[in-house]
Structure 1
Amino acid sequence: MKLRCQSVGEIDSRSGALGGGADLGPRRNRLYQTSTMAALLDAVYDGETTLDELLMHGNFGLGTFNALDGEMIVNDSVIHQFRADGQAGRVPGSLKTPFACVTFFQPEKEYVIDTPCDKEGFEEIVNRLVDNPNLFAAVRFTGLFEKVETRTVFCQCHPYPPMLEVVSRQPTMQLGSSSGTMLGFRTPPYMQGVNVAGYHLHFLTEDGRRGGHVTDYRVKQGRLEVGIISDVEIQLPRTEQFAKANLTPENIHEAIRVAEGG
C-alpha cells in the first residue's frame, strides 16, 4: 500500500523556512510554549495567546483551548479542534489557548516502520533516534494504525473544577484500524510540571474528521519523523488566575500521569 506522506521540503516551504537566507526564516525545531502543565492542572484554563499568534511561533504542535474546550493539533500550520465527541474541525484564529506547544518542524531523523509495534516499541525507536534523554523532541508518525485510543476534554464553566476532576469524566474513543497522523513532543523528565515529561501525542485521521489526545496505540506501518529540540521559549501568562495558581503540588507526577492517561 502506498502511504501518503509529505516531503521534508514541502513542510519547510509551507513554513517559509526555505528560500532566502537562513536568518530570514523561522527558527526551526525551537519549542514555543504558552503557560505550564502545572497551571493547567490547577484549573488555569484561560490564556492570553490567540491561535493566530500561536502560528507565528510554529506550524506543528498541540495544546488545548480556553475553558478547556477540547484538544488541539497543529499540523502544517492548520489547527484542528477535537471536541468531546472526538469530531475534529478547523477553528478561527481569534480563539485563545491556555496551554500549547508549537515549533517550526524540521525533521532531522526519519525512520520507516514496516512491522507493527506498540506504544513502548514506538517510544524506544524515537529514543534511539534522539540519543539524548535530556533534550526535547518533536515527533510525527504518518501511516497506518492497528488501533488508536483517544480522549477529549469537555468545555468547562466557571468556577473551573481541577483538571483531575475533569478528566475523570471524559470519554475515551477506540478508533480501531485507521490511517492518519500522530504528532507531539517528547519532554525530558526534569521538565515535569513545566510540560508533560515523556510523550504527549495527539492524533488526526487522514480525512481530518476524528482524533484527540492519544492514550494508547499500535502502529502498523508508516513514516516516523523526529526533530531534536534544544531551544525552548516559555511565555507565562500575567493573569490573576496564573498568579494564584499552585504550581508545585506534592503529587504532580501522579497528577500528570492520570491527566495524560499514562
Structure 2
Amino acid sequence: MAALLDAVYDGEMTMDELLEHGDFGLGTFNALDGEMIVTGREVRQFRSEGIASDVPSDLKTPFACVTHFEPEQTITIDQPLGKAEFEALVNKMLDNPNLFGAVRFTGEFEKVDTRTVFCQCRPYPGMLEVVAKQPTFTMNNISGMMLGFRTPPYMQGINVAGYHLHVLSDDRKHGGHVTDYRVLRGKLEVARISDLEIALPRHKEFAEADLLPAGLSEAIHTAEGG
C-alpha cells in the first residue's frame, strides 16, 4: 500500500497467479486501472464509471489482498447499521484486535458510497493527486455483497490499517471501493486470519520507492477515503 502512494502502479502477478492464493478479496490493477473484487473464481473490475466487467487472466496487479474465506461466525443483521456500528459489531465478533479479519456482508443496503480510480499514464502521478480527481457514486436501496478485510494498525503501509471494503451489486454490474454505507438486513460472516504471505515486486520502481514517508497513516487515510 505504501508503494501505491509513491506511484508504483505496476506489479508482476497475474490474475491467474493471484487466484492460486485465494478466492476472496480486493485490490487494484496495473496502471491503477480501477478497483478489484474477488469472489469465488470470479474477478470483477470497476473502472472510473463504476461499471463492473470481466477481467482477462493475464491482467496484472500492483496491490491485492486475497484469502480462502472460511467463515468462523455468521449472524443475521435485521436492523439498520451505519458504518461505525457495523465495524463495532465485526470487531466484537473477531474478538482480537491484533489479527487480520475477513468480512463479508450479503444483503440489502440503504445506501453505499463508492469510488473508483482512473487508469493512469506514465509518468505516473502520486496517488493523492489521483484520488483528488476520482469519480464517486452513491447507490441507494441496492442488494449485493460487501467484502474485504480489517487490518491491525501495526500493518499500516503493508495493507490499509482498519477496514478496507469493496462492494458488488447482485446483478454483478455495479460497485467499487466503499467509503461509506448503511446496511439494512442480511448475513454477516467473519473469520480471523493469523497467517500472512507477502509477494513483493522485484522491479526498479519498487526498489526506488519510499515506503516509509512522513505522514504515511494520514496519506493512506486520505487515499482510501476513510
TM over 0.5, yes or no? yes
**1:177 aligns to 2:129 (yes or no):** no
CA deviation string 1:227-249 (max 9, x = no partner): 11000001111010100000000
Moved over 2 A (4+): none
Q: 1:198 corresponds to which residue? A: 162
Is residue 70 from structure 1 mapped to residue 67 from structure 2 by the alignment? no
Aligned-pair Cα RMSD in Å: 0.4
**Does 1:45 find its partner at 2:6?**
no
Following superposition of structure 1 onto structure 2, how do residues 121-160 of structure 1 map, counting pairs within 5 Å?
A: 121-160=85-124
Tell me the residue number matched to 2:68.
104
1:38 maps to a residue whose letter is A
SS at match of 1:39: helix
Letter in 2 for 1:131: D
Secondary structure at 1:234 match in 2: coil
CA separation in 2, counterparts of 1:210 and 1:117?
Answer: 22
Higher-Rg structure is 1
**1:238 and 2:216 aligned:** no
> How many aligned positions are there?
226
Q: TM-score, normalised by structure 1?
A: 0.86
> Could you say what secondary structure the match of 1:254 adopts?
helix
User: Given residue 231 of structure 1, which amino acid in structure 2 is its aligned partner?
Assistant: D
Task: Name the % identity.
Answer: 68
Q: Distance in 2 between matches of 1:221 and 1:160?
A: 41
Is 1:186 matched with 2:150? yes
One-letter amino acid of the counterpart of residue 97, structure 1: T
Give distance in 1, aligned partners of 2:73 and 2:132. 37
Code of the aligned partner of 1:139: V
Matched residues in 1 for 2:190 and 2:40: separation? 15
Q: How does 1:243-262 map onto structure 2 within 5 Å? A: 243-262=207-226
